[in-house]
A = this chain, B = another copy of it.
Amino acid sequence: MEIIRRKTDYAIRALIHLALHPHQETTTAEIAEEQEVPLEYLHKILQRLTHGNIVNSHRGAYGGLSLARDPEDINLLDIIETVQGKINMNKCFLGKNGCPRAPKCVFKSKWLQLEQKIAEFISQVTLQDLVDQVRQGGYQEKGGEGEG
């Protein structure tokens, strides 16, 4: 089971694209084509990133998108939570409709510990980190051979 949903994958690719093309308005269509992502779906995803104040949008002719903040100030946790929601380990183990003793439940603390570890790690990775790695050649612009 993958923790990162496809839409989050798309979001990250779009954000890397924006980071690689600063100082210009980039359209959703351009990103969709370059990253080979369904246009209308990408619209939805970018809307969420806009609402999450990760990208800025500009409507109308010659409009488009740009990063709302510096890539160093956008971390992976922001991105993930904005597009796919918070990562939880489990609602609660015991009890049918959510544990009736959640406040006292000792399992819960195990999950919270883990959730926090995950969040901590993910939030330390910034968009800039990813961009740097891309610049070092760690991926190709237009993938799709499906060989890996």
CB within 8 Å of B: which residues of A?
1-5, 9, 12-13, 36, 84-107, 110-111, 113-114, 117-118, 121-122, 125, 129-130, 133, 136-140, 143-148
Contact = CB atoms under 8 A, between A and B. Distances in A.
B93 A107 contact: no
A101 B1 contact: no
Contacts of A88: 1-3
Copies of this chain assembled into the complex: 2
A106 to B, nearest CB: 3
| Chain A to chain B: the 6 pairs with minimum beta-carbon distance, closest first | A95-B143, A102-B148, A106-B138, A97-B146, A4-B90, A96-B144
Given A95-B145, A95-B146, A100-B147, 7 more contacts: A1-B84, A1-B85, A1-B86, A2-B90, A101-B148, A107-B138, A110-B125
A143 B89 contact: no
Contacts of A117: 117-118, 121
A28 to B, nearest CB: 18
A143 B12 contact: no
B143 A94 contact: yes
A1 B115 CA distance: 12
Contacts of A86: 1
A39 B28 CA distance: 49
A1 B5 contact: yes
Nearest to A36: B96
A4 to B, nearest CB: 4
